[in-house]
Structure 1
Amino acid sequence: MFSKTPSNSFGKMHLVACCSRHRESISIKASELWDDALNVVQLDDVFMVGICRIDNEYIAYDLVCPHHGANLGEGSYDGRNFHIRCPWHGYTYDLKTGNCIRNPNIEGLSLLRTRSKFYEPALIPKHCLKFFEVSVEKDVIKIDLSVGTLGEL
């Protein structure tokens, strides 16, 4: 895992210790979150939620990579462009849309001397991050974990 104030190759990640969980939702004080970082809430041994603020709006999503299930909380976060990169295979996701924006296999496959008939250099997988509904009341951010929606395709 990472420490309280880690810095990955792109931007900062912040592990949020204070949150309350009520069955299908969590509540966090906005003052506990960092505006310039990817805030990570660990709910149990496996399930983690990422929260970031983009254009004065809080966005929450599942930190499980849709490609093969890696923990995106251990990946790299680009706070300037709001991208997160998977630590296992390097797929990069846009946190504004949830879309996969970089397929790391393209670079490797383009080096092959004899390409497969299935090789398509512009192919971007249809993996999308799962977003959760967020509501803000005063200084409390509520995240509904019961219903997740996939990013745009």
Structure 2
Amino acid sequence: MSALTIAIGGDHAGLPLKTILQAALAEAGHSLLDFGTNSPDSVDYPDFAHKVAEAVEAGSARFGVLVCGTGIGIAIAANRHPGIRAAVLHNTTEARLTRAHNDANVACFGARLVGPEPALDALRSFLATEFEGGRHARRLAKLMPA
């Protein structure tokens, strides 16, 4: 897989896992746009979800990675942006299928629900899987704003 530009962000609850994912992405040669947080102080996850989603929407990043306590809130916030398809991931099967069938462009993780190794495996699978198109493209078109 060639190097990608990836936007990454998360809240205070996601910081430990975000740091691990960030290091692995950098080690794999990807360019990172880090939108924070980089502090354990309490922050609001939508602020980081919006920054990452905006970078993906604008084409500044091919994919986004978001981390909060459960992955749910940050995914909801990111999915408020047209063209963003954020999915909460727990394993490689979810990662592969959300890329292949849904052309997801933002991977979300819950630091309180998934350990570093499953998250790393899921992220690698997410980045390596291509959208299948075909019947899935028709369904994806129905998700796009009018």
TM-score, normalised to structure 1, is 0.30
The structure whose residues are more often helix, as a share, is 2
**Greater radius of gyration (CA):** 1
The structure whose residues are more often strand, as a share, is 1
